[in-house]
Structure 1
């Protein structure tokens, strides 16, 4: 197989991660003005318009990070392992929206987001072991999901 240029890996990574966000938005957007609007939310809940730009930025950073790991050689066991864990956390990321907004189940979504946080930390560690700086691209994502978990918990408690 011919070598794939790094720029193509970056574009693929960004598109793949943002595709997860797009799929999740299919259940999120319809619920924002209906079910979600009626929930009791904590005072520190960000405005709805903020989520789109934040997630687009985070998915882009995730895609760049994945491309940086992929560039090290997919056949290498540490790269395969890191990208597998990345794939699991990306799946869990998308699943959260379907649990929270689609099933309208904040409690199940909260349990799932804790698992997501575990896999983000594992991805961070594996990426950092391959290239120290790549893992750090995931720190804003980790912090945002930790914040989202707190929001999720408050929504469970308040409702």
Structure 2
């Protein structure tokens, strides 16, 4: 039985928002108790920015992966790209667990560098497969680039 394209999109979105739920669970208490007490750079965004930003990014990354999935039979290397998408979802959730759950900015920094490398690799692969998918991925890579700098600054300051 073949999966219908719109059902596949829903599954990509559910996977992304499952990651969001895992990250939210790891983050919830630390955002109230620990994060406000640590030193942060002056360019740290206000807390209200993170929810809308991540919601948008999860939607965009899901659509990008779904576009590759829809054309997977015609695209050489699409299976690897989709596996890398799964890897980045795991790494995305793991960062929240390390940074907020374990309250360990140093370990989270090492992990986010790995996440960034996977995202950059995906960026190149997505542009090769589908220009729209590649364009949809740009904000995610940009946000994680910023988050990496923020994570590094927090680690340095604390």
TM-score by length of structure 2 reads 0.94
**Cα deviation code 1:86-118 (max 9, x no counterpart):** 111111111000000111100010111111000
Deviates more, 1:27-36 or 1:74-83: 74-83
Residue 158 (structure 1) aligns with = 157
The separation in 2 between residues aligned to 1:75 and 1:25, in whole angstroms, is 37
**Cα deviation code 1:120-139 (max 9, x no counterpart):** 01111112221122111110
Q: Contact 1:14–1:61 (CA<8 Å) still a contact in 2? A: no
Shift of 1:78: 1.1
Find the residue that maps to 1:137 and give its secondary structure.
Answer: helix
The separation in 2 between residues aligned to 1:78 and 1:68, in whole angstroms, is 14
Shift of 1:27: 1.1
How many residue pairs get aligned? The number is 158
Find the residue that maps to 1:138 and give its secondary structure.
Answer: helix
Instruction: Report the RMSD for the aligned CA atoms in angstroms.
Output: 1.4
Shift of 1:75: 9.2
The separation in 2 between residues aligned to 1:57 and 1:74, in whole angstroms, is 28
The separation in 2 between residues aligned to 1:75 and 1:50, in whole angstroms, is 38
**2:68 corresponds to 1:60:** no
Residue 51 (structure 1) aligns with = 50
The separation in 2 between residues aligned to 1:105 and 1:135, in whole angstroms, is 32
Q: Contact 1:65–1:135 (CA<8 Å) still a contact in 2? A: yes
Unaligned runs of 5+ in 2: none
1:3-152 matched pairs, under 5 angstroms: 4-73=3-72, 78-152=77-151
**Cα deviation code 1:51-106 (max 9, x no counterpart):** 11110110000111111011013696511110011111111111000000111100
The separation in 1 between residues aligned to 2:154 and 2:88, in whole angstroms, is 23
CA separation of 1:73/1:115 partners in 2, compared to 1, >3 Å: closer, same or farther? same
TM-score by length of structure 1 reads 0.94
CA separation of 1:84/1:74 partners in 2, compared to 1, >3 Å: closer, same or farther? farther
